[in-house]
Structure 1
Amino acid sequence: MTKFKSTKTVFVEINNGSNLNFTEVDQAELPDLERNSVLIQVKACSLSSWLHCCGNVGKDPATEVLCQAIGKIGGNPNKSCKLPAGQDIAGVVKAVGEDVTTLAKGDYVVGIIPLDYGQSGCADFVVLQEFDVVHIPDGVSFVDAAGCVGDAVKAYIALHYMGRLGGSDDTVLVLNGATSLGSTLLQLAHHWGARVMTSCSSNDEKTYIQSLGVPLLQVVELNEKNQSLKAACNAETGNLGVNIIIDTIASLPTQMDSNIIEEEKVEPLVRPTKHDIISCLAVGGRWVTCEPNLQLDPPNSKLLFLRCASVGFLCEQAWMLSHAQQGRYQHILMDIMRKVGTGIIRPNIHHTVTFDGVKDALKHLPKIRVGKVVLTL
């Protein structure tokens, strides 16, 4: 086993529910290069969008759940935990373990760092397992590969495994389709033959969605004056409802988000009520949500029951932590890169930053809804 050191890396450290601290480590020790490991020189890393809450962690349910998960993995649920500032990486293989057969030194690869590895993608080097990464197709840049792989995995799981998308007979509603995850969902759902509609919060978001070139049944602009999502769904489906709803909004805006919305004059997100979402479902419909703290009152639960509908929780981290899904996960990564290489999935990069600008970029992630911020090294 060979030991390596990464000269610099950035973590997000959380201490018992206090504010997020962006910690830069100059000499972070990497795990040993074992028989099935690969040493990767990071060329690009997408900043983690779930770190949108820079205020109290308790106000952000997604981050809170991840803290609990990483605490249990490490065996210290009551102590501070470190979360990666970025998990989606692309780079060059610099060394391989003796049992590695699918990769060689000099290969261009892309992958996602599992939470339990204790490594951040915002670093010079990372050590991953052979089956955590796949080859980058010719013509795909490091920035594009790192900028789309995480959202594409999430979209793939939501549509194929949780939504059980069946093709042209299904109608898919993507809430907040202008986000990087939302736009990937639109492209994948259309490619798999579904009839697709989406929502947005502003004219700029609507313009971006239309620029994707994906044929959509309708783009519903939700704002304080118009929250008529149910009427739009009924009009497009003949009052039958949609088969799959993907809720890409992890949580309601935090106080930090509200401050940034006021300072930067960003259009606030308008989230449909749970009753409105359930009312849009067809009989046997599936609602896939990113909200970990979802609670349904008895009237909403009865409405789901009467529609024979179901709710699924989308947590892509579980797939990276579960050995039972390892084979499927590897095929998902390979299929995603094929689709990126052929132009079926078009990454949307908001802008790139250098290592010195990572901390500032993380603090301003809440105002960036369209596209990803990618670190280049």
Structure 2
Amino acid sequence: MGIEQQSKGGPSPVPGVDPGGAATMRAAVQHRYGPPSVLEVSEVGVPLPGRGDVFVHVGAASIHPGDYFAMTGKPYLVRLAFGLRRPRHGTPGMDLAGVVEAVGKEVTTLRPGDKVFGWSAAGALAEYACVPAKNLVPMPANLSVVEAAAVPTSAMTALQALRDIAHVQPGHTVLVTGASGGVGSFAVQIAKALGAEVTGVCSTRNVELVRSLGVDHVVDYTSTDFTSTDSTRTGKRYDVIFDNVEAHPLAAVREALTPTGTLIPNSGRGGRWLGPIARIVKARVLSGFTRQHLRPFTSLGKRQDLLTLADLLAAGQVTPVIDRTYPLDEAADALRYVGAGHTQGKVVITV
């Protein structure tokens, strides 16, 4: 199978490479779309690595709203990517951290024994995962495996939105809604690292958490509406609004933008059929009639961006916020909690 392994006792069989399929592992599995109860943890065959793959012993895997949508199959639009009638991948989960057990013959960037973190197409909620080498980078020494697993998708979304879409520069004013959530908690820290003056929007219970992330200002949305024209408004306009909640109409949010500011809508929620598509289309259309930039986007997994994040993490400029950890046996409970939409930072499953 093009796999090599190093061990103290010399070459040994690699789990998952047995052509007879005798090796098994524990994994969260679903055979149909539905609520978290469709998940069960059972023994399955270990995956077979390819020549360009890395075979990872998973230590932890994080989950985010996208995993919840992929599990439920709602909005129905997600089924175009994950399978029309049933999930194409039986084991969910993308973001992971762990130890390299073996590498394919074409892999030169990593070796057995390396501690790594990154993302896969699916299959992270398992004891082992096969991941393309280009999707993994060495784990910063100052991070635990739980912290590292929390990073990939959410932090890359925040980095690409602020750096590549909004082009945040030193001195810019940036407002982040959902500042205590998975993407938001990374976004406020990355915006600060880019030199911006940062305002985080959150509920009363999360004010101290958001303040601890280094923001310049905190808006408690239960008492202050950053879009309102009445006495509860902050009275500020922002160069960039990264809207991870989308609780306000586009027209209202635009009132809080500078005349040439950038609004990035970033929520997968919406109707049961198309999810956020209607809002995205409206933002695209409106952008052609205003000097303001309305820029919905889809983040893409990029190894170089993960390396950039690793540097920020190693320097202490970005620190993952961990809400809760669950053992693999409680994966359904973890996804149920994430689906409720009120996480403080990231939810991580330990394997």
TM-score, normalised relative to structure 2: 0.81
1:296–1:343: structure 2 CA closer, same or farther, 3 Å change rule?
closer
Corresponding residue number in structure 2 for 1:323: none
Corresponding residue number in structure 1 for 2:25: 7
Q: Indicate yes or no: 2:335 matched with 1:339.
A: no
Q: Is the 8 A contact 2:328 2:350 kept in 1?
A: yes
Corresponding residue number in structure 2 for 1:364: 337
Q: Deviations over 1:97-143 (max 9, x none)?
A: 112111111000000112xxxx3111011111111100012221111
> What amino acid does structure 2 have at the position aligned with 1:198?
G
Separation in 1 of the partners of 2:44 and 2:330?
Answer: 19
Q: Deviations over 1:201-231 (max 9, x none)?
A: 2x2111211122x141x322223x6434355
Q: Indicate yes or no: 2:47 matched with 1:47.
A: no
Q: Is the 8 A contact 1:11 1:23 kept in 2?
A: yes
> What amino acid does structure 1 have at the position aligned with 2:212?
S
Corresponding residue number in structure 2 for 1:289: 265
Corresponding residue number in structure 2 for 1:222: 221
- Larger relative helix fraction: 1
Corresponding residue number in structure 1 for 2:180: 178
Corresponding residue number in structure 1 for 2:124: 121
Separation in 2 of the partners of 1:54 and 1:40?
Answer: 23
Q: 1:12: Cα distance to partner?
A: 4.5
1:234–1:19: structure 2 CA closer, same or farther, 3 Å change rule?
closer
> What amino acid does structure 2 have at the position aligned with 1:124?
E
Q: 1:352: Cα distance to partner?
A: 1.6
1:305–1:35: structure 2 CA closer, same or farther, 3 Å change rule?
closer
> What amino acid does structure 1 have at the position aligned with 2:323?
H
Q: Deviations over 1:12-48 (max 9, x none)?
A: 4544xx55521434113413x2222111100111123
Structure 1: which 5+ residue stretches go unaligned? Answer: 72-76, 252-270, 321-328
Q: Is the 8 A contact 1:233 1:280 kept in 2?
A: no
Residue pairs, 1:5-154, within 5 angstroms: 5-15=23-33, 19=35, 21-31=38-48, 33-52=49-68, 57-58=73-74, 61=75, 64-71=76-83, 77-82=84-89, 84-114=91-121, 119-154=122-157
SS of the residue 2:278 aligns to: coil
Corresponding residue number in structure 2 for 1:235: 235
Q: Is the 8 A contact 1:87 1:112 kept in 2?
A: yes
Corresponding residue number in structure 1 for 2:256: 280
TM-score, normalised relative to structure 1: 0.76
RMSD of aligned alpha carbons:
2.9
Q: Is the 8 A contact 1:171 1:196 kept in 2?
A: yes
1:349–1:6: structure 2 CA closer, same or farther, 3 Å change rule?
farther
Corresponding residue number in structure 1 for 2:200: 198
1:11–1:276: structure 2 CA closer, same or farther, 3 Å change rule?
farther
Separation in 2 of the partners of 1:83 and 1:166?
Answer: 42
Separation in 2 of the partners of 1:343 and 1:299?
Answer: 39
Separation in 2 of the partners of 1:57 and 1:205?
Answer: 30
Q: Is the 8 A contact 2:70 2:78 kept in 1?
A: no
Separation in 1 of the partners of 2:102 and 2:221?
Answer: 50
Corresponding residue number in structure 1 for 2:12: none
Q: 1:69: Cα distance to partner?
A: 1.5
Of stretches 357-366 and 79-88 in structure 1, the one that deviates more from structure 2 is 79-88
Q: Deviations over 1:312-348 (max 9, x none)?
A: 22322xx23xxxxxxxx11111111111122111111
> What amino acid does structure 2 have at the position aligned with 1:235?
G
Q: Indicate yes or no: 2:148 matched with 1:166.
A: no
Q: 1:364: Cα distance to partner?
A: 2.4
Q: Percent identity?
A: 23
Q: Is the 8 A contact 1:9 1:28 kept in 2?
A: no
Q: Indicate yes or no: 2:240 matched with 1:244.
A: yes
SS of the residue 2:94 aligns to: strand
SS of the residue 1:295 aligns to: helix
Task: Give the aligned length.
Answer: 322
